[in-house]
Amino acid sequence: MLRLDLHREPVWLDLAAGVRVCLAPLTTALMVSARNDPAVHEMPDDASDEDRALAYAKAIARRALLGWEGVGDADGEPVDPTFDGIDALLDLYPVFEAFQLKYVNKGLLLDAEKNGSQPSPNGTSAAGKDTATPARRRAKSARAA
């Protein structure tokens, strides 16, 4: 069953090392916009999957991130989010990984959920026909022949 979350309020997620981010809902419009980001769209053909994933995550974050806590400059003074700051934050592997798992994968799992097969009405094998022949019946048939 596809579960619709009709709430469109931003959410706060804890990422790593005391960093919290406020993110807009992950919508189709946001994902399509990120896919068309110049940094994603103009990736060279020979770019690795890892480079593509990072560019896409940064594009999503630049569109979705509305605010953050626990992020400061070199002197430890809090700073407001900027595109360069968001990119630098996601260059930190634990932050990138948490962002992928807690935010991006939620959208991808929903996409996978809608592509699944409908379960059989009375269990996993209810709709299937038995095609295997029990060993005893095969042995009896062989002796009779």
- Find, among 84, 88, 110, 85, the residue nearest to 25 by Cα: 110
Q: Note whether residue 21 is domain-resident.
A: yes
Q: Note whether residue 18 is domain-resident.
A: yes
Q: Note whether residue 76 is domain-resident.
A: yes
Measured CA distances, 70 to 13, 45, 57, 59, 85 (Å): 12, 37, 20, 21, 13
Low-confidence ranges of the chain (pLDDT < 70): 1-6, 107-145
Q: How many domains does the chain have?
A: 1
Q: Note whether residue 89 is domain-resident.
A: yes
The predicted pLDDT at position 126 comes to: 53
Report yes or no: 14 and 52 within 8 Å, Cβ to Cβ: no
The predicted pLDDT at position 2 comes to: 65
Please give the residue range of the domain that contains residue 59: 1-109
The predicted pLDDT at position 85 comes to: 95
The predicted pLDDT at position 145 comes to: 58
- Three-state SS at 49: helix
Q: Note whether residue 136 is domain-resident.
A: no
The predicted pLDDT at position 13 comes to: 94
Q: Note whether residue 139 is domain-resident.
A: no
Q: Note whether residue 91 is domain-resident.
A: yes
Q: Note whether residue 19 is domain-resident.
A: yes
